[in-house]
Structure 1
């Protein structure tokens, strides 16, 4: 009887976890569409706002929308990790490059709070997925900034026992010993958060994502903390072969704020949401592209009978008429229209979609897409 009860309890727990995963995916998906429109309209509005007060209000709007986008991104991260669609791409790379990126990204945030910010340079080569490791460190840094009212947040790295130990230290609120395991649970928040002024308090998902990613990569994460004195989160990353890292080609990102030239390229924009289609088209035109927009696959094909073929296609995944953006790209290919680049916008997290998109050489951007990310995707970066 005890064994049967245990098996039943385990099945109930699995059903509850599956239901939670479906809820997170559905909630984040349904909220992404209106937020995507708001982000795009705010970006389209920016060039037309004059005067210091107007710019100040627009800046506040941008920060609020970005905070909401971050929250939804974390919901999406949780649902993707639970669905098993995140697959690490492990390679040897110099950790210094990632630490430099983090330094540039978070120095302004620390300065805004009046905190000292330090990142110790490191020339060590590690073996990991640079994107997923970066997400672990970003979550730890954001957590440190959120819970630190004064003092310092620092990131340093040192070799120890055949691995690189990357530490994120802060002089913040600290965590009681009996809470140091609970903080890695979903929606767990410490009530004493000292948030960045004008920022968000978070959903309590950052460390839950860290725990899942650390298990996925087999990079143990530990915490040492004293209430009132701060915390140290450490990630243990395997060392890599420096020669292999030097042989791997490294992408050259555009400089911050640098706008890739559009050169009047033709873009087909397809979305069954009229508001979002208008916002997308308006913003892409502002970047210097020629735009043809449509609300369905059928409308897109009809319009292309009268205009030259597009060089790029930006399409929603679900087009509302029983077809998808992938169906659209396949139909265009059958007509002999092969765009330079296809970009699929979606809130879906399933691995089948990602695999199908990759098979067509199509980029996938998850909603809500920040305008700079879409602009870089259009430019091929």
Structure 2
């Protein structure tokens, strides 16, 4: 205890913070030795002088209001709203950012304020760098979103043209050897489409540009669409493709959910030479599990932990490399967005099992009769040939689409603008189906065209909307209009024909 006074005096004089004591008149009554290194004044030069000496002139008016407020409500606290919000003035006139801690002192009948002052220039610069980095990241994200929107439209347009022209030529050319070449070309085109879709999808998912649009999604309907999409691939590879019957409905984003299953099923077929690929469901009290199982080449145990990494592909023991390794990375991101979990198990040489766990709160049950009714429409081979009205501002896409549809046996009228559509398509026939690109150069959307034609005819004209950025469009169009289908570019020709058929069946049922 005999050294206590000396220790206190030493700490006060040589504290790491500059310490000053100001009386109720704003005059400095004490300053420790640290003020010299921080402010450039010797303690004796400050005693008896106004505290405003240490405040930059531009901030003195604000400082007076701070002092007045503190005198009314004295307490130990930080001065100023934020770190780096306060500045002090050195003896040489330079300014620097400070943090100031205030504490009231009462000595006999006099009131004083003790202030601990610390240089926070580095911290302030760090905070400013963080803010600048955050703003730059936000700008980069906005630029990325703009790029993705442009790429989705501009890159998909020529792919749409090439795909449709290839399908048309396959129908027109009689020579078997030329048809075989066209089929090989078609396969290359499909590979390009899948790669483009995967690159754009993973970029949009990682940028946060996609938000789930929740609705009731019948599993039976999704399974039927997957069966239609992958049936020809399964036949070509001599694979038995099986889907379990179900009457369950999942509350989720239909597009993302389909994409998740599409990637898992595509992987299963890709790595199965012969055998089976099956999609099944099983329920417990707390979850529904959808499994996609194959009898393919399998995955080594030491590779399983990396299969969800972007651009990673497992060594398939001599099999040709397929894709760029984005399918399961997309599955992981989509599952995260939807609140699902995905688990992959595999045995080398015996096959792979992908299991999607969906929480029970997202499951709805409906009757088998309702399920059967939902699947009643859509046989592409059992419809009459309607007249199709095509609106597409890209000439190459328009010519290719019109050629393909005419070869399918349809009567087609086509135009490039909304204004021409209203004149060319007047009067509308009862069996007309409108096919229109969502993004048109004359500042109209495909929906604008469809709604104008509906108003002109006084009825719900069936419409198919095509878009290279379908997910963004669907999020802007909520709810979706009745008697309408939305398809992604480059359009899958089977899906296009099926949509025409479904809309025609709906029209006949309502007639």
- TM-score normalised by length of structure 1: 0.76
CA–CA distance in 2 between the matches of 1:330 and 1:154?
42
Q: Residue 90 in 1 paired to residue 90 in 2?
A: no
Cα gap change, 1:309 to 1:5, in 2 (>3 Å): same
Q: Residue 261 in 1 paired to residue 380 in 2?
A: no
Cα gap change, 1:21 to 1:309, in 2 (>3 Å): same
Report the number of matched residues.
369
Cα gap change, 1:155 to 1:9, in 2 (>3 Å): farther
Which has the higher mean CA deviation after the structures are superposed, 279-288 or 351-360? 351-360
- Note the aligned Cα RMSD (angstroms): 4.0
Q: Residue 48 in 1 paired to residue 169 in 2?
A: no
**Within 5 Å, which residues of 2 pair with 1:201-240?**
201-225=322-346, 231-238=352-359, 240=363
Cα gap change, 1:361 to 1:76, in 2 (>3 Å): farther
Q: Residue 57 in 1 paired to residue 178 in 2?
A: no
Shift of 1:242: 4.4
Give the structure 2 partner of residue 309 of structure 1: 428
Shift of 1:30: 1.6
Preserved contact between residue 24 and residue 75 of structure 1 (Cα < 8 Å): no
Q: Which runs of 5+ in 1 are unaligned?
A: none
Cα gap change, 1:188 to 1:159, in 2 (>3 Å): same
Q: Which runs of 5+ in 2 are unaligned?
A: 1-122, 504-511
The answer to which structure, 1 or 2, has the higher relative contact order (CA under 8 A, 6+ apart) is 1
Shift of 1:34: 0.9
Give the structure 2 partner of residue 377 of structure 1: 499
Give the structure 1 partner of residue 40 of structure 2: none
Give the structure 2 partner of residue 296 of structure 1: 417
Which of 287, 296, 299 is residue 174 of structure 1 equivalent to? Answer: 299
Which of 133, 138, 158 is residue 262 of structure 2 equivalent to? Answer: 138
Q: 2:389 is paired with a residue of what secondary structure?
A: strand
Q: Which whole-Å deviations, capped at 9, do the CAs of 1:95-154 have from their partners, x for residues lacking one?
A: 67766776776576466557x757585668464447654432331232234445788755
Q: Which whole-Å deviations, capped at 9, do the CAs of 1:42-88 have from their partners, x for residues lacking one?
A: 22223321132122122212222222222333345446654234413
Higher Cα radius of gyration: 2
Preserved contact between residue 126 and residue 164 of structure 1 (Cα < 8 Å): no
Preserved contact between residue 78 and residue 209 of structure 1 (Cα < 8 Å): yes
Preserved contact between residue 25 and residue 75 of structure 1 (Cα < 8 Å): no
CA–CA distance in 1 between the matches of 2:455 and 2:280?
54
Give the structure 2 partner of residue 251 of structure 1: 375
Q: Residue 189 in 1 paired to residue 315 in 2?
A: no
Which has the higher mean CA deviation after the structures are superposed, 344-353 or 209-218? 344-353
Cα gap change, 1:301 to 1:25, in 2 (>3 Å): closer
CA–CA distance in 2 between the matches of 1:336 and 1:206?
45
Q: 1:380 is paired with a residue of what secondary structure?
A: helix
Preserved contact between residue 24 and residue 76 of structure 1 (Cα < 8 Å): yes
Cα gap change, 1:352 to 1:66, in 2 (>3 Å): closer
Q: 1:328 is paired with a residue of what secondary structure?
A: helix
Give the structure 2 partner of residue 38 of structure 1: 162
Shift of 1:277: 1.7
Cα gap change, 1:17 to 1:179, in 2 (>3 Å): farther
Which of 124, 135, 150 is residue 26 of structure 1 equivalent to? Answer: 150
